[in-house]
Structure 1
Amino acid sequence: MWTPRPALHAHVILYSPLHRCYARADPTLSRVWVDAPIPYLGECGFLLHFQDGCYHLESSTHCFLSHLDRLVSQPSTQTAFHMQVRPGGLVALSDGEGGMLYAQGPRLLLGLGSSPHRGEEWFILQHCPTWVSLRSRSRKFLSVIYDVEVYAASEHLTPMSLFQFESDNDNLTLQLRSANGCYLAQRRHRTVLANGHPLECDTFFRMHWNCGRIILQSPNRRFLGIAPNGLLMASVTIPGPNEEFGIRLANRPFLVLRGRYGYVGISPEHDLMQCNMDQPNCIHLLPCRQGIYHFQAQGGSFWSITSFGTFRPWGKFALNFCIELQGSNLLTVLAPNGFYMRSDRSGTLFADSEDITKECIWEF
């Protein structure tokens, strides 16, 4: 019997068209609810593992959804689900014995049941989107206030300080969608407001990078910066420190990297990190500075780099890795030795590239 296996990246979200919400893991109660209208939380992301013809859903806290409607610490036959597919990215998960996974009860608990109604067992499987926070030179978060105005005024991260990072992978243009569902757009008097629509030309900004900090250029070729009153504006023609923004991944406590030859991970046959794995390993992100992270392996040790530009996952000391987003769910990694991390045909992961090539682009 044929078993469907999506070509999608392993880091996914589950959207219920019937309830118009996303699945969200609740580590406190060890449950999964279908109650998130916008998937900006890390808890909305799941790793989809394929093993022995079945699928296992792993939460952002590395617990697995079980047939008992709870999150458990280890994968087993009780966390294995069979997948049915329909056109349009629709999937349904079952236990193979008549039970289907769907949202139940007034709180929409995701669990097994035998009587789904109106197609509530069908979910749209999507690649986990990228949500980021942006910080000004004064270390204030960019936030949408008064519905549409964008200010660098908040010292605390709120849902209105989060933006979905949507980028054209070919020409490095960027759209930022706020939690209110609208895009940042350049408006009259060079102000930038969160009231744009997806295809509106004023919502496309060109991005430039400087050591992990992002610089945004508006359609009128002026650069975004912060006015004295904290308002976000496109005002200057030559960018300076005031036009550089710290950027941090908001819904990614870890990375799952896939390159040209497979996933980045650990192989029992090699002592070096590999880049041709069929199943991924998580890289835990420990934020250090804006755009700078420490890479931690699942066992708690840190990534270390050899004199040959290869990596081992059992270092004792944290090293600085610089992440720069290159498109929607695409990034490059500048390693501690000053070279870009790249995949190699041999299967070994290297950091020896001075320029960004196709082997340096990672899907995450």
Structure 2
Amino acid sequence: MPTNGLHQVLKIQFGLLNDTDRYLTAESFGFKVNASAPSLKRKQIWVLEPDPGQGPAVLLRSSHLGRYLSAGEDGRVTCEAEHPGRDCRFLVLPQPDGRWALRSEPHGRFFGGTEDRLSCFATAISPAELWTVHLAIHPQAHLLSVSRRRYVHLCRQDDEMLADGDMPWGVDALLTLIFRSRRYCLKSCDSRYLRSDGCLVWEPEARACYTLEFKAGKLAFKDCEGRYLAPVGPAGTLKAGRSARPGKDELFDLEESPPQVVLLAANHRYVSVRQGVNVSANQDEELDHETFLMQIDQQTKKCTFYSSIGGYWALVTHGGIQATATQVSASTMFEMEWRGRRVALKASNGRYVCMKKNGQLAAVSDFVGADEEFVLKLINRPLLVLRGPDGFVCHRRGSSQLDTNRSVYDVFRLGFRDGAYQIRGRGGFWNTGSHGCVRSDGERAEDFLFEFRERGRLAIRAGSGRYLSGGAAGLLRADAEAPAGAALWEF
């Protein structure tokens, strides 16, 4: 299994939603907590940490403050502890409907309440002491079976999800978590939902909805009958087994899903490693050997390309490009220049990567011409979820306008044509109207350009040349001059 940051387990961040649909909030002033927020923003995000003493208790740390939730003997609750002490330990008691009850381990009382009247003094569980877990991570990821150490992917031939992949390669390994009515659905790359009997269905029916449970930092998915998803049989078919308790077989990791891309050269052929370690533009199909995992270094903003044969693109003698490197180094880093519908790549020798007459790639050019330009296509996001600094992109209620500050998200469909992307929502295609306002009701597809600027983040350029950003009012607009700040989107 490749290392060097190719497989990053996502740190599970979440919000806690009470019985009145308000989120647990950590305030900077006085380190007070309340349950008044109607949406999931920075102050409402929490991280679950195991008890350092290896006991069954857990710690709840505010992502916003970096401090721990604590409950005193008198029931007073604050979020001011810089280091976890005795009063910071809670026991998570999952309820049959998937909600949590949180009990102070040292004092035996339950945590709950409404608005700014929160305490940890209840001796029994009532609706006020029940919390729903709402994940705050980006919902598109790879799913790794802990027991089998294999990745879940869509098997189109058998019409099921299998946990048998050595690597999460290609679009079939992408899963999208859909939050509905306090439960989660697992959506495949072709927009179907995984039902607990292993079937894939087009609607999120009751047996395709799961409650989340956490165990030792791992995830378990419990169906409506109290059984847990697990890989079953020699093929690893993902379905609910017989277990009513999550053991190792029922546990999963969520891993970051970096962009996977194909590149089309000036000869209208795909860049590939099908014929060996030389990176060449010589194929007519986009299959595994033509797919590359692209990651951007956060400091230098340069990118690496990792191949399905297990090597990074690397600059070698005489300027050639081969997929032979097992470690990231200066020779594996490429600077991307965005040139409208095309991209140019500059290697560590300061020269541009070009396609030679025999199709092989080499960094030997001082200037960019047709042979130095490539069409770069994102292939593992047929379904697109976007999150900006203030929240997710979602249809505004009763309108075709798009909000950028929501705690819930809409899933959009992505198309591609000649270096540009077309985005489709519930009412039609995205289009930019008057004053740069982006709507989702177009009958014809408008072209948008994607620029991958940072690790896990892209900028979207409209036909006007401006970038899409979220304004103060939360509306999606094409009004940013530079691909930075609010014009960068987690995808």
Q: TM exceeds 0.5?
A: yes
User: What residue number does 1:360 align with?
Assistant: 487
Q: How far apart in 1 are the matches of 2:383 and 2:335? A: 27
1:212-231 to 2 correspondence within 5 Å?
Answer: 212-231=341-360
Give the structure 1 partner of residue 140 of structure 2. Answer: 11
Tell whether 2:192 aligns with 1:63. Answer: yes
Task: Say whether the 8 Å CA contact 1:259–1:343 is kept in structure 2.
Answer: yes
The offset of 1:98, in angstroms, is 4.0
Alignment partners' CA distance in 2, 1:74 and 1:65: 10
Gaps of 5+ in 2: 1-99, 101-130
Name whichever of 75-84 and 148-157 sits farther off: 75-84
Counterparts of 2:371 and 2:159, CA distance in 1: 44
Native 8 Å contact 1:8 1:127 kept in 2 = no
Please tell me whether residue 307 in structure 1 is matched to residue 434 in structure 2.
yes
* Maintained 8 Å contact 2:459/2:467: yes
Deviations 1:237-269 (A, max 9, x none): 223221111100112213211111111121224
Structure 1 residues 294 and 96: CA distance shift in structure 2, 3 A: closer
> Counterparts in 2 of 1:272-287, with a 5 A limit?
272-287=401-416
Cα distance in 2, alignment partners of residues 160 and 339 from structure 1: 35
Match of 1:348 in 2: 475
Structure 1 range deviating more: 202-211 or 93-102: 93-102
| Residues 140 and 355 of structure 1, relative CA distance in 2, 3 Å threshold | same
Greater alpha carbon shift after TM alignment, 13-22 vs 351-360:
13-22
Q: CA deviation at 1:38?
A: 2.3
- How far apart are the structure 2 equivalents of 1:298 and 1:253? 15
Task: Say whether residues 1:266 and 2:395 are aligned partners.
Answer: yes
Q: Which moved more, 1:273-282 or 1:256-265?
A: 273-282
Question: What is the match of residue 235 of structure 2?
Answer: 107
Change (3 A) 1:145 1:26: closer
Ranges in structure 1 where 5+ consecutive residues have no aligned partner: none
In the other structure, the counterpart of 1:165 is: 294
Identity value in percent: 28
- Compared with structure 1, are the counterparts of its residues 87 and 236 closer, same or farther at alpha carbon in structure 2 (3 Å cutoff)? farther
Alignment correspondent of 1:81: 210
Instruction: Give runs of aligned pairs for residues 12-31 of structure 1, distance below 5 A.
Output: 12-27=141-156, 29-31=158-160
Give the Å deviation of 1:48.
0.8
Deviations along 1:92-114, whole A, 9 cap, x unmatched? 21226441111111211000012
- Asked if residue 53 in structure 1 is aligned to residue 200 in structure 2, the reply is no
Q: Deviations along 1:162-210, whole A, 9 cap, x unmatched? A: 0001111342210100011211111112111101123333111111111
1:340 is matched by which residue type in structure 2? Y
The one-letter code matched in structure 1 to 2:239 is G
SS of residue in 2 equivalent to 1:180: coil
Work out the CA distance in 1 between the residues paired with 2:295 and 2:150: 20
- Distance, in Å, in 2 between the alignment partners of 1:302 and 1:146 is 40
Q: Over aligned residues, Cα RMSD in angstroms?
A: 2.0
Residues 190-199 or 156-165, more deviating: 190-199
Deviation for aligned residue 1:27: 5.0
SS of 2:273's partner is: strand
> Which secondary structure state, in structure 2, belongs to the residue aligned with residue 308 of structure 1?
helix
Distance 1:237 1:50, change over 3 A: same
* TM-score scaled by length of structure 2: 0.70
**What is the match of residue 424 of structure 2?**
296
Q: 2:446 pairs with 319, 333, 337, which one?
A: 319
Going from structure 1 to structure 2, the CA distance change for 1:303 and 1:177 (only over 3 Å counts) comes to: same
Which is greater in Rg? 2
Q: Distance in 1 between matches of 2:275 and 2:149?
A: 26
1:119 aligns with 248
CA distance in 1, matches of 2:275, 2:189: 32
